[in-house]
Chains A and B, each alone.
Chain A
Amino acid sequence: MGRRLALVAAAPLALAAPATGQPAVQAPMVQAPAPQAAPPVLDLPPPPAPPVEIPALTAAQAEVAIRVLRAADAHGLQPKAYLPDGVAEGADLGAGQNLALSDGLLRYARDVRIGRLEPGRFPALWQIRPAAYDPAPELAQALAENRLQAWLDALPPRYSGYVALKRGLARYREIAAQGGWKPVPEGSKLELGSNDPRVAVLRARLAVEDPLVAATGPATFDKPLEEAVIRAQRRYGLKPDGVVGPGTLFHLNQPVGQRVLQIIANMERWRWMPATMPATRVQVNSGAAIVTLFRDDRPVMSMKAVSGKKGDETPMLTSMIHSVVINPPWNVPSGIAARELWPKERASPGYFARNGYRVIPVEGGQPRLQQASGDQSALGRFKFDFDNPFAVYLHDTPSKGGFDLYARQASHGCVRIEKPRALAEALLEGNSTWTSEGIGKQLQGDKTVRARMDVQVPVYIFYWTAFGGADGQMQFRSDPYGWDRELLQRVGVLASGAKA
């Protein structure tokens, strides 16, 4: 329910490319006792890897290198960051230029593979981080084996999500090159039957992104235009009611350059992902407040969620769900107790008793608050536990109305989920005790029980605000945490203080 910010300095959950298909969550190192006969060993850090000698690029390899670096903007990178001055395709390279081109290739390889954000510049809440990567040995080998192009092609993430963004980046840059779109003037809401000069502007605006809309048409807001508005609202994660009010206008009037930046920020995040994902996993997008369960690498269940609000952001992280707590009590984090609950008790004595809270004295410290399990528990009937330094988890909620909203960032950092029982049954599938009937029986009372899963399931909490939809159209969300802007500033795409 709440995050423990005191633990934000905990070790990051580095994501390596796991050969086993399991996420490489950094595990505590257990040092085996040294055999008695062994000589004493100095505890020194491993020696640095010897420098790799990179062979000079042949003329053909230099051509490939220049062509690829020149096209770095297709990945949202800046060619000038990699391409040495004065180097052109077809020209003879001096030794210095050849070396500079190799250096450019190394920088490009690192950036396109693991992103531009230096390890030390990740904020504490961004725990999904790439494994360290040194491209030098690979470049040397690729040059020696004369397969530079293949090596360069294999560097970017190969996930469909990244590829869709790359396609979207090209498309939105093309839209920008053609002049973008005119904003629809503000005014009264536009809906079916509206007769307003702004209808023509709206039609033209929608036609830029939606191939099903003609740029010109009747001056009246007709049925096809209403359907186009509904499609646009779905693309922006808004309530698809076909009425153009201030919320829809806000999204329609975002400049195309903003969308380009949003795509670049999300491409950057894809580079922090492991090379492969485990076949069974739970994926959360806190930016869109959606949860999906994958089994055998296919999505088999999804549901709405409520993620952390601005100021109580749900961290990006990966961990392993190890148990489902049925009828969980809520141990209220001290910050939430002090800020929100104790004031209510003081203002209305008896608030704790009425809402199932009990005060647990703590020797030499502030008393703790615990809300009893049951229908009124803020955690609802299910809690899905996974280890993490923020004390966040997935859980049920008695406040189901939150799922009807379209902007669902309202929690203290935990992820409330819409179909907790379905997820619990799916995760506990095959467990002889916690069958559907067993869970149902437990739910008849309020007794707390922890159902340990036979097989732990990885959970990934991401933050995506731009993605290719299932229909191939780009979808955007409203960067509820401001993390797109923060990322773009941290990697130098935006100047500090600029808007994304």
Chain B
Amino acid sequence: MLRKVLWIAAACAAVLAALAASRMLGFDRPAEPPVSEEAAPAAEESAAPAVAAEPAPSPEPPPPAPSPTPEEQQILDDAAATGMTTIEPEPDVAPN
């Protein structure tokens, strides 16, 4: 009987020791996601302005249209010479 009790006590001690060792090594933590090189900041972090005092920058104007090549410019010049047939927008006029 005593022998049985000793066996059980030894088994429990072994289980407890194994549990303690696994905790120390961190086997019970969930697996970490792979770390990307540019991890997005947390929502709270990104919502906070870097410098609170500075206003948000105004949207940049669209880049100017590229100037036409000499060949395109020649076509535009020639089109003007043969009659600029694009339609001008209608003026807005109040009733009278």
Which chain A residues have a beta carbon within 8 Å of chain B's beta carbons?
60-61, 64, 145-150, 153-154, 158-161, 163-164, 273, 276-277, 283-285, 288, 290-292, 294, 297, 299-303, 460, 462, 464, 467-470, 475
Known A-B contacts A61-B96, A150-B93, A302-B75; A160 and B81 likewise in contact (beta carbons under 8 Å)? no
Whether B87 pairs with A299 at a CB distance below 8 angstroms is no
Whether A299 pairs with B83 at a CB distance below 8 angstroms is no
For window 67-96 of B, CB contacts with A under 8 Å fall at 73-88, 90-91, 93-96
Whether B96 pairs with A285 at a CB distance below 8 angstroms is no
Whether A146 pairs with B81 at a CB distance below 8 angstroms is no
Residues of B within 8 A of A297 (CB): 85-86
- Shortest C-beta distance, B71 to chain A (Å), equals 9
Known A-B contacts A153-B91, A302-B74; A159 and B81 likewise in contact (beta carbons under 8 Å)? no
Nearest to B92 among chain A residues (CB) is A150
Whether B77 pairs with A294 at a CB distance below 8 angstroms is no
Whether B75 pairs with A301 at a CB distance below 8 angstroms is yes
Chain B: interface residue count, which band? 20 to 34
Known A-B contacts A164-B84, A285-B83; A302 and B78 likewise in contact (beta carbons under 8 Å)? yes
Known A-B contacts A292-B79, A299-B76, A470-B77; A161 and B84 likewise in contact (beta carbons under 8 Å)? yes
Nearest to B76 among chain A residues (CB) is A470
A297–B79 CA distance with the chains assembled, in angstroms: 11
Overall SS of chain B's interface: loop
Residues of B within 8 A of A283 (CB): 79, 82-83, 85
A299–B72 CA distance with the chains assembled, in angstroms: 9
Known A-B contacts A146-B95, A147-B95, A283-B85; A302 and B79 likewise in contact (beta carbons under 8 Å)? yes
A302–B83 CA distance with the chains assembled, in angstroms: 12
Nearest to A291 among chain B residues (CB) is B82
A250–B93 CA distance with the chains assembled, in angstroms: 44
Instruction: Select one of A64, A154, A292, A462 contacting B75, CB under 8 A.
Output: A292
Instruction: Select one of B73, B74, B93 contacting A153, CB under 8 A.
Output: B93
A277–B90 CA distance with the chains assembled, in angstroms: 17
Whether B83 pairs with A149 at a CB distance below 8 angstroms is no
Whether B85 pairs with A159 at a CB distance below 8 angstroms is yes
- Shortest C-beta distance, A430 to chain B (Å), equals 22
Known A-B contacts A154-B90, A160-B88; A290 and B76 likewise in contact (beta carbons under 8 Å)? no
Whether B82 pairs with A290 at a CB distance below 8 angstroms is yes
A468–B85 CA distance with the chains assembled, in angstroms: 12
Known A-B contacts A300-B75, A302-B75, A302-B78; A161 and B85 likewise in contact (beta carbons under 8 Å)? yes
30 intermolecular pairs with C-beta atoms under 8 Å apart: A60-B96, A64-B96, A145-B95, A146-B95, A147-B93, A159-B83, A159-B84, A159-B87, A159-B88, A163-B88, A276-B87, A283-B79, A283-B83, A285-B82, A288-B82, A290-B81, A292-B79, A292-B82, A294-B79, A297-B86, A299-B75, A299-B76, A302-B79, A464-B82, A464-B83, A467-B80, A468-B84, A469-B77, A470-B73, A475-B80
A300–B79 CA distance with the chains assembled, in angstroms: 9
A164–B78 CA distance with the chains assembled, in angstroms: 15
A297–B83 CA distance with the chains assembled, in angstroms: 12
Residues of B within 8 A of A160 (CB): 84-88
- Shortest C-beta distance, B90 to chain A (Å), equals 7
For window 15-47 of B, CB contacts with A under 8 Å fall at none
Known A-B contacts A148-B96, A470-B73; A277 and B85 likewise in contact (beta carbons under 8 Å)? yes
Considering the complex of A and B, which 10 residue pairs feature the smallest CB-CB distances, nearest first?
A: A302-B78, A299-B79, A161-B84, A160-B84, A283-B82, A470-B76, A150-B93, A292-B82, A285-B82, A290-B81
Whether B76 pairs with A147 at a CB distance below 8 angstroms is no
A49–B11 CA distance with the chains assembled, in angstroms: 117
A146–B93 CA distance with the chains assembled, in angstroms: 11
Whether B88 pairs with A290 at a CB distance below 8 angstroms is no
Known A-B contacts A300-B75, A470-B73, A470-B77; A149 and B82 likewise in contact (beta carbons under 8 Å)? no
**7 extra interchain contacts, Cβ-Cβ under 8 A, other than A160-B85, A161-B85?**
A153-B91, A154-B90, A159-B85, A285-B82, A464-B83, A470-B73, A470-B79
- Shortest C-beta distance, B95 to chain A (Å), equals 5
Instruction: Select one of A149, A288, A299 contacting B94, CB under 8 A.
Output: A149
- Shortest C-beta distance, B27 to chain A (Å), equals 69
Most chain A beta carbons < 10 A, residue from B79, B87, B91:
B79
Residues of A within 8 A of B73 (CB): 470
